[in-house]
Amino acid sequence: MKKIEKIAAADNFTAVNVGKLSELGDYELVLGPDARLNGKVFGGAAVGATGAEFSFQLFPPHTETGFIHTHVAHEELYFFLSGNGEFQVDGRCFPVGEGSVVRVAPAGRRSVRNNGDLPLVMLCVQYRAATFTAEDAADGQILADKVEW
């Protein structure tokens, strides 16, 4: 089973590498004694994330999630990085592919499938819904420090 590689870390950051997106199928997520999901890796713990979770997932051609799910408090953003497929929310299906982004509210009943002939790769970011405010949008500060490489 493939593992996330730590690149660097210090007090204010952690950097990791999940590897080539084409090799995500080497990951195996163990959900229980008889439940394993190939091609999915969660990374929040690996980077020490405190306000969100993220995962990469690879769907081989003509495969699907295989279940519908919701969340209690978490909204999700799905970024499609390559391939083509379909996304379903509350029974409504629509096409997704490279460059597509889908936001789903916690109660949205969701699933995804690859109905194409190439791998479908997505990045999912999960975070507590209804927490981002106008003040948060102005949270960044540009510093006078000189950038040195």
- Determine the pLDDT at residue 123: 98
pLDDT tens track of the chain, all 149 residues? 799 999 999 999 999 999 999 999 999 988 888 878 899 999 999 999 999 999 999 999 999 998 999 999 999 999 999 999 999 999 999 999 999 999 999 999 999 999 999 999 999 999 999 999 989 989 999 999 999 99
Residue 93: the pLDDT is 98
Sequence-separated (6 or more) residues with CB below 8 Å from residue 32: none
pLDDT for the residue 55: 97
What ranges do the domains of the chain cover?
Answer: 5-132
Q: Which of 81, 36, 74 is nearest to 58 (CA)?
A: 81
CB-CB contact of 104 with 80 (8 Å) = no
Distance (Å, whole) CA 65 – CA 74:
19
Entry pTM: 0.93
The pLDDT value given to residue 35: 77
Task: Give the model's pLDDT for residue 39.
Answer: 95
The residue among 18, 22, 56, 21 whose CA lies nearest residue 37 is 56
CATH of domain 5-132: 2.60.120.10
pLDDT the model gives residue 34: 80
